[in-house]
Chain A
Amino acid sequence: MYLLWLRVAAVLYGLASMSALPAVLGDRPRWQKVCLPLTIGGWFFHFVAFVEMLAAAHRLMPVGMYQVESTLGLLIVTAFLLIWMRYRTISFGVFALPLAFLVVLVPAIGPDKYTFSSSLVRSGWIVIHVTLLLAAYVALIFSLLASLFYLAQERKLKDRESPGFLEWLPPLDTMDRIAQTTLVFGFYCMTGGLLIGSLIAQERVGAAYFLDPKVVLSFLMWGLYVVMLFVRRSTGLRGKRAVYLSSAVFVVMLCVWAANIFSSVHRFTTP
Chain B
Amino acid sequence: MKTKIVRELVLTFLIFALSVSAFGLGTNQETHGTEHGGTEKKFDASSFILDHVVDSHEWHIITIGEGAGEKHIALYLPVILYSREKGLDVFSSKKLAHGHVYKGYRLEEEGDFKGKILNVNAAGVADTENRPLDFSVTKTVVGMIFAAIVGLWIFLSLARSYKKSGISHPRGIQSFLEPVVLFIRDDIALPNIGEHKYEKYMPYLLSVFFFILLNNIMGLIPFPPPFGANVTGNIGVTFVLALFTFLITQFSGNKNHWKHVFAAPGVPTWLLPIMIPVELIGLISKPFALMIRLFANITAGHIIVLSLICLIFIFDSVWVSPVSIIFVVFMDCIELFVAFLQAYIFTLLSALFIGMATAEEHH
Does chain A bind chain B?
Answer: no
Query: Interface on B for A, CB 8 Å cutoff?
Result: none
Query: Interface on A for B, CB 8 Å cutoff?
Result: none
